[in-house]
Amino acid sequence: MPAQPALNRNWQSMNKLQTTYDLRTHGKRSAWILLFLSLLGGLAASAADWPQYKGPARNDISAETDLLPQWPAGGPPLVWTFADAGVGLSGPAIVGDRLFTLGGRGDIEYLIALDLHSVENQTVSQAWAVAVGPLFDFQGNNWSSGPSATPTVDGGQIYALGGNGHLICVDAESGQQRWRVDLPKDLAAEVNPIGGGPKKLGWGFTWSPLVDGERLICLPGGPAGTVAALDKNTGQVVWRSTELTDQAAYTSPMVAEFGGVRQFVVLTNQGIYGVAAEDGRLLWSHRPAQRYSTEVVNSPIVRGEFVYVTVGSGQGCSLIRVRSNGGVFQTEEVYANTNLANHHGNVVLVGDHNYGFAQGRGWVCQNFLTGDVVWSERQKLRAGSLTCADGRLYCYGEDRGEVVLLEVSSSGWNEIGRFTIPRETKLRKPNGKLWTPPVVANGHLFLRDQDLIFCYDVRDKP
């Protein structure tokens, strides 16, 4: 990132003060909450919560039921709008009465907590915000600035990653910092700059942390190891994947078990890898015939012994099978085609089919095991992202903020609701789009457009 003296001075001052500010007075209520949480051992997540990137199972599927089977004209009711989330593409993590996200305000990126029980006149209150690091941006960047990672909630702790590689752990109730790691400085972290951005930084650090037991799994990238396991309570390094040293892409680690061995599946520009959860050993690798020549954004989808990946700019998708023979892992490519090339959105596996936007094809339903296109739809909605809840797909268009409700079906596009967000941000970069996927949690639909977060009630009330 080019030198920005004023920005750096501001950040250094804030860092020394460990700036956390609270926009409302908690009083006795906070004292009782803190006591209650200490007795419970932290902020406990329920099945209806969305505590991390892609949800509880990291698969973009909500466990919720009893949601609206179709929407009324104009869409479900708007509950509240938050208009100060800042710039960035970070998704929400939602547990109980708290929503956590990241956003850039001025020259600083913040981890922001909203109090979902404090809503007046369709406006939600901020509980606290804590500085993460300087705003990610660079000269000539016309696409996106600010943070893109989704925070991870684990008990009473929140883990958040800024665009420049500042990783923090804070107390979920108060926002008080517990530890901090500067990934480029402390772990020699590097991001692949293919597609633009500064050397070793690219479009910034965008992966979302994964909690695995007492460890926090990260993808710093670089010569010391692509994958790192940190002690989640201290931030100290437990192991690095010294046999795997690719620069990080824009994907997040996914947990898997092949041949009875717990491991993390990682996708970079060079290939797909399995890293042992115990010690970071490289268990297997699968490199495509030609390395990916564009930004690698979509995280791997893991089911059984299969790993599915999709990359944009026409490079397409592939499915590999991972098998263990006497403790030795082998990979086999099941298929590789261009039937579903997804770049800025995401793909959701529901049942035996993938759903998502495919460049050059429109919205697609794809057979997971064969790679064949079951149906496609070009005209009803342009590119976008999606999530799944209660047997329905919630699709969010990246151009104008159109939201479409579909039945999950391999028989075709069956639309049962549509509306458009009431307003769009004025902070988006000239070439930027609405690239934060929708989330359904606790009976509500959450949509983000940079500084704007909208919350809709999608419960099927008796």
Residue 462 is predicted with a pLDDT of 74
Residues 455 and 441 sit within 8 Å (Cβ to Cβ): no
Q: Spell out the domain ranges in the chain.
A: 5-457
Q: What angle do CA 247, 253, 255 make, to 5 degrees?
A: 145
Question: Residue 342 corresponds to which tokens in the numbers above?
Answer: 């997804």
Confidence of residue 461 (pLDDT cuts 50, 70, 90): confident
Q: Which pLDDT tens digit goes with each residue over 275-322?
A: 999 999 999 999 998 889 899 999 999 999 999 999 998 899 999 999
Q: Which pLDDT tens digit goes with each residue over 326-361?
A: 889 999 999 999 999 999 999 999 999 999 999 999
Tell me the whole-structure pTM to 2 decimals: 0.91
Which pairing describes strands 306-311 and 316-325: parallel, antiparallel, or unpaired?
A: antiparallel
CATH class of 5-457: mainly beta
Residue 290 is predicted with a pLDDT of 82
Q: What angle do CA 162, 167, 171 make, to 5 degrees?
A: 110
Confidence of residue 44 (pLDDT cuts 50, 70, 90): low
Please determine, for residue 62, whether its predicted confidence score (pLDDT) is greater than 80.
yes
Q: Which pLDDT tens digit goes with each residue over 199-228?
A: 999 999 999 999 999 999 999 999 999 999
Q: Choose the most confident range, by mean pLDDT, from 24-38, 39-53, 442-456.
A: 442-456
